[in-house]
Structure 1
Amino acid sequence: MKPMTIHQIASFAEGVIYKDVTDENLISHVTIDSRQCRKGSIFIPLKGSNWDGHHFIKDAAKQGATACFFEPDVISGDAIPEGITGIAVNDCQKALENMAMNYRNQFDIPVISITGSNGKTTTKDMLASVLSSHYQVLKNPGNYNNHIGLPLSIMALNENHQIAVLEMGMSGPGEISLLSKIARPDYAIITNIGMAHVEKLGNRMNIANAKKEITDGLEKNGVLIINRDDDYYDYLKENTASDFQVEEVGLNTLSTCYAREIKDLGQKGFEFKTNLTGDFCFKVRQPGLHNVINALFAIRTGLMFELDPKDVQQGLDSFKPTGMRMEICRIQGADVVNDAYNANPDSMKAAVHFISKYPAKRKIAVLGDMYELGEYAEEAHREIGREIINQKIDYLITVGNMSDWMAEESKKLGMGHDKIIRTSDYVEAAAVLKKLIQKGDVVLLKASRVVALEKTIDVIGEGVQ
């Protein structure tokens, strides 16, 4: 963060300083965790359903924090400890957003925003890696992609950064619009429109409209990059303001940037060329055809920043996916594909398709419940059951109540009852898998985050390589 005076912070946050301070007290760090406070920190005491950060202002002061926000209807200014400057605001969350929005305006650098139902984190990490071959890049860490994480990420910008790559997530309408207006991107990427969050949004059209909100803060004459292969490509393009330049990536040869001469290397990834880079052959080291699409977003954007294809490839080589996304480890002589970070129908079908092509003696799918599907939950889980049959998976281990629909559908379509094992949690699944797994098998672990299916590895995997 670029050091700022408390007066500047108060102005950006539309707050009022409780007591006079000198401009020698500079703020160089923003946090919502009192344990991370130090000299130069400003502590933001956010409120949740079961907690209130105001209770930790004293702890922040003990850790050395220089300042904090506070809401006068929660605590009085007199309750702010000595040694820490209080800034009164109406709402700490809104103040954080205002502060980030005004702070972002201090930087005249390109901002690239990314959203989508699947692949947004991988695309963010790939693109940041590609651009880092020539630029100093800020990206939001991990899942810092919501109304809290994105403002905090923007507040980490400093004078050395030349580009910001920001992922934007959502659970309901209006959320991405807010994030886009805070970040004011010059480039916006929509990876795809899937079924994630359909429980709250009702249908894919509403999801498409929510994702399209990423253009609400897009600068005039900005660039929107979308997936030509996606079902909602036409809708997104036709319903985007004419002020924007629209670029497309995909396998469709009508795309601005498309992949050609694709060679599947199995668990070693893919090699391919593009229509924009002649005979240069790109390689992504991550399995799954969806990663070719993710890479195309990074390639097209990198080329727009005038990177040479060799520099783009250097970035793809340096890319390391965030944990629990198609991670392959060896347990008891079998390859275990840990894709358990999260799941929705599209990403689960892609993962099942991947192991169906895997060079293994037996294909075992350990699949758990997919959440936030609302009235579509039963049909979505049954669709995965049909995919198990279509992709000729040898064993299905289900985890949770909703995944019983997968088991029912697979059994109805002819999968032997001895090939389907239903379990209630990852502990039971691990016990089954420990007895079943053999050398030469491939095992897929995939479920929504709450299922914590990755813990299966801890139970069965002493000596993971």
Structure 2
Amino acid sequence: MRMTVGEIAAACGGKLLCGDPDTIITAVSTDSRKIEFGTLFVPIIGEKTDAHHFIGATFAAGAAAALTQEHDGMNDTHAWIRVQNTEQALQRIAAVYRQRFHIPFIGITGSVGKTTTKEMVALALSGSLNVMKTEGNFNSQIGLPLTMFRISDRHQAAVVEMGMSNFGEMSRLAQIAAPDYAVMTNIGISHIEQLKTQQNILNEKLHITDCFHKDSILFLNGDDALLAGLRGKPGIKILWFGTAPWCDFRAENIRTAASSTHFTLIAPGASFEVELPALGIHNVTNALAGLAVAKTLGVPLEKAIAKLAGYRPLAMRQQIHRVNEITVIDDSYNASPDAVRSSVDVLCSFHTGKRVAVLADMLELGDFSRQAHFDVGVYAAGAGVDAVVTVGERAREIISGVRSVRPDAACYACEDNEEAAAKLKAILTGGDIVLIKGSRAMKTDQIVKALL
């Protein structure tokens, strides 16, 4: 990035307390430990720490300017910009910076699969375009603005993940990223503790279209019941992807081989064979989103498909490891009921030995928590899981669900990850497959590390 201190102050409506307005800013950071020469430091007031305390240290490390909401006057050679709220100021600066670029912006949202879909959309587009994409899951009220500053003149498209967990958040993100196109993966019950109903979740996520223009397109998963209810919605152009026969981009003849999935892509006016090095129907859907966006933006489908053939799962997102003749499916990054069901399907696609599911608490489900955990257990039992190991108090309800279907099923309730790892080492034998999944706060990646 490249902005002057004066441009930054104007963008956020701030007051320059001291310093040279012509100072060039080449990076923005909210982390005082990640400062390079020419950085604008944005101190965020968190639940435990007020980062204003670190402004001096960032200047010593090379920062050229800082925002502040706690100082009304300052005498310094560095630039200090007074604002009402540093987080909101960060968002306003990012929104102004984004408007400098006249390239297609694609926003990705949904209850499950945002990050994987973002990766596949960016990969498919890279068949012809230089793409900037969100790093990791920098998709929040702070993460998205920081992502904006990574865009440069060399980029020909931007794919940005947009996550929300409460009312009003998606609208703010839309004002920052102003996506020309948007992909919605599904509507589940993640964050339903705050949003109360799935219809509220859908309504909030639809704010991703707040800055749409006459040529904008919303890409929707036709296999999701709530999204499919938007068929015929006036005022927005929609392209559909999925397995339903009416989808614009659909998958047929889906089959699995080893650690890859093959399917026939039916696109407007053409069909193609696709090999995707990932398992699960949900990943087929994610790939369809990528191919739909690529075709719409002028990338030849042959090139997009070739790029997807090189897809590799991100860390802790259905990564498959093999150790001591045991297959470990590391899906420990996060969990929701829909995501767990998809992962159970992947687990049950293996047939070499016992299929063991390690499932930890799913959080932020509010009043739906008990029933959601129970239903996951019912699903796992019906899908053919041979043994279930749970971690956490909430996850015990998964065992109740399993035993409501199969009273004699092998189930083990563990208090923590250490106990779960020990139990696995006792019950796993050569040829077995084990899935490990739980909400991020449960840190189930500790179990993966213990096994590997």
Same fold (TM over 0.5): yes
Q: 2:372 is matched with which residue?
A: 380
Q: 2:24 is matched with which residue?
A: 26
What are the superposed Cα offsets for residues 281-308 of structure 1, whole Å, 9 maximum, x if unpaired? 1111110111010000000111112222
Q: 1:448 is matched with which residue?
A: 439
Q: 1:84 is matched with which residue?
A: 78
Q: 2:406 is matched with which residue?
A: 414
Kindly report which structure 2 residues correspond to 1:32-431, keeping only aligned pairs within 5 A, or say none: 32-71=30-69, 74-78=70-74, 82-237=76-231, 240-242=233-235, 244-276=236-268, 278-416=270-408, 419-431=410-422
Give the Cα separation in 2 of the matches to 1:66 and 1:388. 55
Give the Cα separation in 2 of the matches to 1:47 and 1:121. 27
TM-score (norm 2): 0.97
Code of the residue aligned with 2:101 in structure 1: it is: F
TM-score (norm 1): 0.94
Is the 8 Å Cα contact of residues 254 and 261 (structure 2) preserved in structure 1? no
Q: How many residues align?
A: 452
Structure 1 residues 173 and 22 mapped into 2: Cα distance closer, same or farther (>3 Å)?
Answer: closer
Code of the residue aligned with 1:265 in structure 2: it is: A
Give the Cα separation in 2 of the matches to 1:219 and 1:293. 26
What are the superposed Cα offsets for residues 139-163 of structure 1, whole Å, 9 maximum, x if unpaired? 1111100110001111111111111
What are the superposed Cα offsets for residues 53-86 of structure 1, whole Å, 9 maximum, x if unpaired? 1000011011011111011xx23433x6x44210
Give the Cα separation in 1 of the matches to 2:73 and 2:424. 58
Residue 232 of structure 1 aligns to a residue whose secondary structure is: helix
Q: Bigger shift: 333-342 or 267-276?
A: 267-276
Q: CA deviation at 1:279?
A: 4.3
What are the superposed Cα offsets for residues 85-130 of structure 1, whole Å, 9 maximum, x if unpaired? 1011111011101101111111111100010011111110111111
Give the Cα separation in 1 of the matches to 2:260 and 2:323. 18
Give the Cα separation in 1 of the matches to 2:436 and 2:286. 21
Give the Cα separation in 2 of the matches to 1:257 and 1:59. 52
Q: CA deviation at 1:454?
A: 1.3
What are the superposed Cα offsets for residues 35-61 of structure 1, whole Å, 9 maximum, x if unpaired? 222221100011111111100001101
Give the Cα separation in 2 of the matches to 1:279 and 1:162. 27
Q: CA deviation at 1:415?
A: 3.7
Give the Cα separation in 2 of the matches to 1:379 and 1:195. 12
Q: 1:15 is matched with which residue?
A: 14
Pick from 404, 408, 427 the counterpart of residue 436 of structure 1: 427
Q: CA deviation at 1:20?
A: 4.6
Give the Cα separation in 2 of the matches to 1:434 and 1:20. 61
The gaps in structure 1 that reach 5 residues or longer are none
Code of the residue aligned with 1:11 in structure 2: it is: A
Among all aligned residue pairs of Structure 1 and Structure 2, give the percentage whose two residues are the same amino acid.
Answer: 34
Code of the residue aligned with 1:132 in structure 2: it is: S
Q: 2:5 is matched with which residue?
A: 6
Structure 1 residues 314 and 234 mapped into 2: Cα distance closer, same or farther (>3 Å)?
Answer: closer
Is the 8 Å Cα contact of residues 421 and 447 (structure 2) preserved in structure 1? yes
Residue 18 of structure 2 aligns to a residue whose secondary structure is: coil
The gaps in structure 2 that reach 5 residues or longer are none
Give the Cα separation in 2 of the matches to 1:255 and 1:310. 20
Code of the residue aligned with 1:255 in structure 2: it is: C
Q: CA deviation at 1:277?
A: 6.2
Q: CA deviation at 1:241?
A: 5.0
Give the Cα separation in 2 of the matches to 1:77 and 1:360. 69
Q: CA deviation at 1:278?
A: 3.2
Is the 8 Å Cα contact of residues 343 and 448 (structure 1) preserved in structure 2? yes
